Amino acid sequence: MTLRQYPIMLLPTDRKTEVERLAELYMAAQIIPASKRDDAFHVAYATVFELDILVSWNFKHLANVRRETLFLAVNESEGYRHPLRLMPPIGVEDEDRR
């Protein structure tokens, strides 16, 4: 499959400060190590813009139930109520198959 076969959504950067603050909270809560700052930003961006699913092969820092629970706890404490799922690509069903 090529990248062209997947829809690409470009998200605005007008809430950059909000995303940065939330990413810092994830690292302060030791959900994501500071050395994996990009992972924290991915989750923060998905949270701020209320995405339903963040797809990743990164089982250590992103796509696992324990971390998902920790991220959701921080999100709720910061007023983010939209649930974000962290899943590997194999866990996401193809909508066309339904």
pLDDT tens per residue, range 69-88: 999 999 999 999 999 999 88
Q: What is this structure's pTM?
A: 0.80
User: Distance between CA atoms of 23 and 64, rounded to whole angstroms?
Assistant: 18
Break the chain into its structural domains and give their ranges.
15-88
Q: Phi then psi for 81, rounded to 5 degrees?
A: -100, -15
pLDDT tens figures, 12-57: 778 888 999 999 999 999 999 999 999 999 999 999 999 999 998 8
Closest by Cα among 86, 81, 79 to 31? 86
